[in-house]
Chains A and B, each alone.
Chain A
Amino acid sequence: DAGITQSPRHKVTETGTPVTLRCHQTENHRYMYWYRQDPGHGLRLIHYSYGVKDTDKGEVSDGYSVSRSKTEDFLLTLESATSSQTSVYFCAISESRGTSGSNEQFFGPGTRLTVL
C-alpha cells in the first residue's frame, strides 16, 4: 500500500464519543486526503491537505475535522460520532495535483468504523 498505514484498522464506538483516525505515510508526498466509502455512494472526499497545517474541506466535511502537524501524519477527528458516520475510511496521498501532474492517488488499507 505504497508506504501508507492507517490506525486503527477497525473501531467500534458509541454515539457521542470522539474518535480520531490516523494516517501515516513514508513517501513524503505533499497531498493527503481522507475519503469515506459507503455502498451506493462510492468514495467521497471529506477533507484534504496540501501541506503542513494547510487543509481544506471536501464534499462531505460536516462533522469532521482534520489536522496535519507533520508531513507524514494526517489525522481525521469525529468530534461527536453519529451512526451516520459508520463507514469505511480511506486515507490517500499524492505527489502532484491536477495542474501539472496526474493526481495519481495511493490509498491506505482503510479503517472500518462502526458507531453504535
Chain B
Amino acid sequence: SQKIEQNSEALNIQEGKTATLTCNYTNYSPAYLQWYRQDPGRGPVFLLLIRENEKEKRKERLKVTFDTTLKQSLFHITASQPADSATYLCALGNTGANNLFFGTGTRLTVIP
C-alpha cells in the first residue's frame, strides 16, 4: 500500500526565514499532490495543488515543487511569519479516484 512521509513531526524556524517542508511517498504514482494547512482544533484548509506534469507552483509566499522521479514534493514558505505557525499536510490523489491519501503532517512554529 502507499506510504506518505512528511520530513519531520515538528519544525521551528525564525521569523523572516524560508520554511521548507518535505513530503515523500512510495508505492504510489499520484496524478496530483495537494498541500493543506491545519490549525489546532480545526479542519484542514486547502492551499495548493500541483499536477504530475508540473515542476513548480507558486501562490503569494508559497511555493511547491513536485519531483515524480524522486517521489517527493517540497513546500516552501518564504519570509515566514508567526501567523504561518500551523500543521501542514500533504495529500496525494489520482485521476479517476475519489479519495486522497494524507501524510501525517509537519507542525511548523515560526519564532518571532
Interface range on chain A: under 10, 10 to 19, 20 to 34, or 35 or more?
A: 20 to 34
Q: For A105, what are the chain B residues with a Cβ–Cβ distance below 8 Å? A: 44, 46, 100
B95 at the interface (CB under 8 A from A): yes
B103:A103 contact, CB within 8 angstroms: no
Interface range on chain B: under 10, 10 to 19, 20 to 34, or 35 or more?
A: 20 to 34
Shortest Cβ gap from A44 to chain B (Å):
8
Q: For A33, what are the chain B residues with a Cβ–Cβ distance below 8 Å? A: 99
B98 at the interface (CB under 8 A from A): yes
Answer whether A98 and B93 are a contact pair too, CB < 8 Å, given A41-B104, A42-B105, A106-B46: yes
A107:B32 contact, CB within 8 angstroms: no
B73 at the interface (CB under 8 A from A): no
Q: For A84, what are the chain B residues with a Cβ–Cβ distance below 8 Å? A: none
A45:B103 contact, CB within 8 angstroms: no
B98:A56 contact, CB within 8 angstroms: yes
Q: For A40, what are the chain B residues with a Cβ–Cβ distance below 8 Å? A: 104
Partner of A107, one of B45, B97, B99, B105: B45
Shortest Cβ gap from B23 to chain A (Å):
11
Shortest Cβ gap from B37 to chain A (Å):
11
CA distance in complex: A60, B72 (Å): 25
A97:B49 contact, CB within 8 angstroms: no
From B34, B103, B104, residue with most partner A Cβ within 10 Å: B104
Q: For B103, what are the chain A residues with a Cβ–Cβ distance below 8 Å? A: 42
CA distance in complex: A7, B104 (Å): 25
B99:A90 contact, CB within 8 angstroms: no
Shortest Cβ gap from B4 to chain A (Å):
8
Answer whether A109 and B93 are a contact pair too, CB < 8 Å, given A48-B99, A98-B31: no
Binding site for B on A (CB under 8 A): 1, 4, 31, 33, 35, 40-45, 48, 50, 56, 58-59, 90, 92, 97-99, 102-110
Binding site for A on B (CB under 8 A): 4, 31-32, 34, 41-46, 49, 89, 91, 93-105
